[in-house]
């Protein structure tokens, strides 16, 4: 069988092999698959294959059955990119000897090896992540670190690259990683066309956090903290401080600060700064607003204050961050070698 909307087998197209297996998360497979096949519409030459350990169709975790497009014997000898998705019950996946044999064998033939979400556990089980930086879904990161102590687990980033290996966070982060690979192979312009076609954000850099600071409010159990957070996130541009927030809640500033630390690990001031940085990140995607205007709208008051906040958060200025916004590369120089072309 041929590739999925990819270059014809035998051409010089990049062979992209996606492993599928029973109870795999559907979006782990379909998200990157859509990115690569859509890229072919804009000039890429990906020969995309979906394989399973048995060569048969598989049932995903959502109950939908998906078909494979190639058997192992039909794959090219040299694979350009291997992508390994995951399943929530990762122990069952790593205990599947047939699946692990497939992953290990293909990884040895691949120029790039990547994973989505719990797929990192399969790479770790195969020894591919030993001594490397890696990430996975934030909820699974402690389990990855405990089960595979030789892996340098980073629970926060959307995706992590270390040499020829790249691992991504939960489910939709596989789309971010796939866009980054397309950009690496074919440039930012083509990757941007793919992102636009799929109606997804182009510029979620690998180093960006899996978490939105605004989601923290949903996790807080204390009603006063939630109210304070809601006020801050409703309009970050309003001049607020701990005294004003606590007065509005009818409690002391000290009590509010204590509650914030208990619930979020941050002070109210740190939370305000984080929300403003996040708001500025979104505003910097605009081609019309100046840096000074963004600083005012995000609540920083001046571009210099915003510059200091960005330097602290990302190690770059807002201007440099904006310049990188339309690509998938991290906003600061990474000490980790990029994936080979």
| Residues 257 and 146 occupy one common structural domain | no
Range of the domain at 185: 14-198
| Residues 219 and 194 occupy one common structural domain | no
Tokens of 63: 């109950």
45 versus 207: which is more confidently predicted?
45
DSSP string, 130-186: TTSEE---TTTHHHHHHH-TTSEE-SSBSEEEETTEEEE-STTHHHHHHHHHHHHHH
Confidence of residue 324 (pLDDT cuts 50, 70, 90): low
Half-sphere exposure of 1 (CA within 13 A, CB side): 15
Span 75-88, pLDDT tens digits: 999 999 999 999 99
Residues classed as catalytic: 117
| Residues 77 and 187 occupy one common structural domain | yes
Domain boundary among 198, 233, 258: 198
| Residues 225 and 92 occupy one common structural domain | no
pLDDT at residue 165, rounded to an integer: 98
Q: Is residue 148 part of a domain?
A: yes
| Residues 30 and 130 occupy one common structural domain | yes
Q: Is residue 203 part of a domain?
A: no
Across the chain, mean pLDDT equals 85
CATH of the domain at 310: 1.10.10.60
Tokens of 130: 């030993």
Confidence of residue 241 (pLDDT cuts 50, 70, 90): confident
| Residues 68 and 134 occupy one common structural domain | yes
pLDDT at residue 235, rounded to an integer: 83
- Cα–Cα distance for residue pair 211/318, rounded to 1 Å: 20
Q: Is residue 257 part of a domain?
A: yes
Q: Is residue 7 part of a domain?
A: no
| Residues 157 and 247 occupy one common structural domain | no
Span 133-180, pLDDT tens digits: 999 998 999 999 999 999 999 987 888 999 999 999 987 899 989 999
Q: Is residue 333 part of a domain?
A: no
Residue with tokens 């990119």, as numbered in its chain: 81
Indicate the number of domains in the chain: 2
Domain boundary among 198, 224, 247: 198
């Amino acid at each position: 069988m041929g590739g999925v909307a990819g270059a014809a087998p035998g051409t010089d197209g990049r062979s992209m092999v996606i492993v599928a297996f029973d109870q795999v998360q559907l979006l782990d497979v379909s998200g990157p698959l859509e990115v690569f096949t859509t890229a072919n519409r804009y000039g890429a030459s990906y020969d995309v294959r979906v394989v399973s350990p048995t060569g048969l169709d598989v049932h995903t975790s959502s109950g939908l059955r998906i078909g494979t497009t190639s058997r192992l014997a039909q794959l090219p000898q040299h694979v350009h990119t291997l992508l390994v998705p995951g399943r929530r019950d990762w122990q069952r996946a790593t205990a599947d000897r047939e699946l692990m044999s497939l992953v290990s064998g293909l990884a040895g033939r691949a120029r790039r090896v990547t994973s989505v979400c719990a797929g990192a556990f399969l790479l770790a089980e195969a020894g591919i992540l030993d001594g490397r930086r890696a990430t996975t879904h934030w909820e699974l990161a402690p389990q990855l670190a405990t089960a595979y102590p030789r892996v340098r687990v980073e629970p926060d980033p959307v995706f992590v690259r270390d040499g020829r290996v790249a691992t991504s966070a939960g489910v939709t982060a596989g789309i971010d990683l796939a866009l980054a690979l397309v950009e690496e192979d074919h440039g930012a312009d083509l990757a941007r066309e793919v992102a636009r076609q799929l109606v997804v954000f182009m510029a979620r850099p690998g180093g960006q956090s899996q978490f939105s600071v605004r989601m923290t409010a949903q996790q807080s159990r204390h009603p006063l903290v939630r109210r304070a957070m809601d006020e801050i996130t409703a309009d970050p541009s309003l001049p607020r401080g701990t005294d004003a927030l606590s007065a509005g809640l009818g409690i002391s500033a000290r009590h509010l600060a204590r509650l914030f630390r208990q619930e979020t690990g941050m002070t109210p001031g740190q939370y305000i700064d984080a929300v403003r940085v996040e708001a500025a990140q979104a505003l910097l995607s605009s081609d019309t607003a100046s840096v000074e205007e963004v600083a005012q709208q995000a609540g920083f008051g001046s571009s210099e204050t915003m510059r200091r906040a960005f330097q602290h958060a990302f190690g770059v200025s807002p201007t440099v961050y904006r310049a990188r916004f339309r690509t998938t590369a991290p906003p600061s120089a990474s000490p980790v070698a990029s994936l080979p072309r």
